[in-house]
Chain A
Amino acid sequence: MPKIEIDGIEVECRDGITVLQAALEAGWSVPHYCYHPGLSVVASCRLCLMEMQMPSPKGGGMEWSSKLVPSCQVPVKNGLVVRFASDQVKRNQRRVMEFLLLNHPLDCPVCDQAGECLLQDYSYEFGDPTSRMRDEKHKSPKKDIGPRTLLYSDRCVLCTRCVRFTREITGTHDLCVTHRGSENEIDVFPGKALDNPLQGNVVDLCPVGALLDKDFLFKQRVWFLKRTKSICPGCSTGCAVSVDSNEGVVYRLKPRYNPGVNDWWMCDEGRFGWKYMHDANRITAPVIRRGGVTGTPPWDSVPEIVDARLRAVIEAHGPDKVAVVLSPMMACEEAWLLVRFLRSVASEATLVLGPVPIQGQLQMFPVGSTGDAVRFTIRREKCPNRRGVETIIAETGGPTLSFEVFCEQATAGAFAAAWIVGGYPEPWVTKDFAKAVGQLEFVVAQDLFPNEVTEVATLVLPACGFAQREGSFMNFGGRIQPFDRAIAPPDGAKGDGQYLYELAGFTGLYSGRAVREMMAQEIHLFSMVKEAPPMPVHQH
């Protein structure tokens, strides 16, 4: 670990990073636009400049170089001495901020980025309060560059992060710089819109309000948003994300830095894949059917109903006539609680993993890359936790069946009761499955939307979307990643974890962490949770 000196303070830093990165990690506030740890270094915004000691040209010892040096470009080296706290450095920061605002429209009141804008933040921290610009501003156009993204060129600082992203990470080369000098603009080739599966990241990368997400446009001021740490359930990659919500409504998802999993990025499928949570058709209250009569039982009565009906089935048909179809959309904790409850009532209940949605092709980026060159992967398995649920089934032991065999046997009358968990955002009940369910005497369906199963189930329980739940998912590589609850379940509904917790005989509030600790006693694997690192104060 090299030691360097920044502003007279010794800092121990990781190998192979730059001075800028080391300073940011050690808590320095160093303004920068073009630098991003996930992209190549271009050193063109010239804002992170520092002073550095160099061997004196006259010989004999080190002295401060008269020249400023981009800290984003200098690798750390033992004994390096630099400073940001100098008049020369500060003067440059002031001037760069003035330059960048010369032609900026200063339209913060109507800009989505306001509140998380590095022009605002840096101007406040490093800039001058007034501009000396007397001449007319150069006005660059607003461009509709893709189905999901707008470009306000007049707010652009030409850091080229977005262009480098489409060249280095997606390999799709959608964006380019056009023209020259102060006429420089970001653009796409007309008719070849920014429409790659990772394009939303350019909005995150944009340090100012130039690239904006149409879906989020004018929807919400960012300072009203609450950020909640979550894991994207869109595929088995398990990207760390932040769910940004306000008053029970999700407004957007943003990736969180998660090295080795999604780094700084996420795909559009995941980014915009949360809308179903606010769908008006969702099941929001328990439903019970008795002899053609449908009612809404109070939540209090649910454990009793389930318990009584299951015991009746067992008495009539035996303890091996009960099955539970677990969903790969469930959190590990939820699956564990459900299995624990059912096995406590029906000790020989069969455990089944429900359908695992597989869609499309494995997508690796940059396009065409393989092996170590791959920077991001979108997986075919469109659920977050197949491995987690499989692990719980395997570690629990006892009778298990594959989903296909369960369907066959249930159709043949091998089961009398089943607890069926869905929770898929897309329709998922096949004809065969519906037919199999039709043979059962008692069915509990836990799901998001009405379907052929919930239409016939004796008891329907609302399931919640991922942002309304908490727990953990095990991704494709076996990494167990916790996620927090961002918003409350819809009115009338209860979190899946909460009612499963109660069914399992616990009282009080469900907590993913507490349940995980209990699980870890039985299944040691669940003690090894990997959280994405916290975002640095000065995020990129």
Chain B
Amino acid sequence: MAWPTIDRQSPVTDSDAPPLLSDEVKAKIRSFFERYETRRAALLPALHVVQESLGYISWRAMDEVATVLDIPASEVFDVVTFYTHYWTKPRGKKTIVVCRSITCELMGAGVLLEAFKRHLGVGEGETTPDGAYSLATEECLAQCDHAPCVLINEKKHGRVKPDDVPALLADPDNDKLEVPRSDLYDPVLGEDATTRPRGGERKG
């Protein structure tokens, strides 16, 4: 046929294959088991923990999560790709999400997105070469009273004007929450360099 065939018989080697899930991450995943009747139900929390820990959900991580939950790897693949918040490729240290739904669009989200693209030098779905930022859009973030709104990791920013973008990007605390955090879904921070905190430098 004129177009290539994707080989699914061979495993995919992740570009920068992160290490196996640490025992701490697995323990964190297992800590959700008691909340549900089935282990399978811990899948969404497990994937959140993995993504926070590794920065993304690699093929290898999917397979390992499947093992921890004792479910088929195909069903982890199924779930990971259904939900837009899980990503299967590495992203920058911070992800900027620009809301693209109706209110934000009416209030200028299109121009705002262009401003981010210009200042970051990347397109939608891309990461800056230094790995600092990834840029994405999402449907309604339920911050329509503050349209146009933007999320930088966990932190929301409302009524952002294109002119605000340079200052916003320069602010090292632009992803730092003002409220006390709960560590329920937090990554397990080990010695390993590949684990990385998000949502600000809360360890000081």
Contacts and interface: CB of A to CB of B under 8 A. Distances in A.
A173 B9 contact: no
Interface in A173-188: 173-180, 187-188
A179 B75 contact: no
- The number of chain A residues touching the other chain, given as a range, is 20 to 34
A141 interface: yes
Contacts of B3: 139, 141-142
A193 B82 contact: no
B5 interface: yes
Contacts of B74: 173-176, 187-189, 192
Given A173-B72, A174-B74, A189-B73, A179 B82 contact: yes
Which residue, of B6, B8, B76, B81, has the highest number of chain A Cβ atoms within 10 A? B8
Contact of B8 (A139, A143, A173): A143
A191 interface: yes
B91 to A, nearest CB: 18
Contact of A176 (B10, B59, B78): B78
A189 B82 contact: no
Interface string A125-139: 000000000000001
A192 B81 contact: no
A145 B10 CA distance: 9
Nearest to B63: A189
B9 A142 contact: no
Interface in B131-146: none
B77 A178 contact: yes
A206 B12 CA distance: 27
Contacts, number: 77
Interface string B1-17: 10111111111100000
Nearest to A183: B81
Query: What's the dominant secondary structure at chain B's contact region?
Result: mixed
B57 interface: no
A188 B81 contact: no
Interface residues of B, number: 24
A188 B59 CA distance: 12
B109 interface: no
A285 to B, nearest CB: 43
B81 to A, nearest CB: 4
A298 interface: no
B104 interface: no
B59 A177 contact: no
A142 B3 CA distance: 8
A38 interface: no
A144 B6 contact: yes
B6 A193 contact: no
8 contacts: A174-B72, A176-B75, A176-B78, A178-B82, A187-B77, A188-B8, A190-B8, A191-B12
Interface of B: 1, 3-12, 59, 62-63, 72-78, 81-82, 84
Interface of A: 110, 139, 141-147, 150, 172-180, 187-193
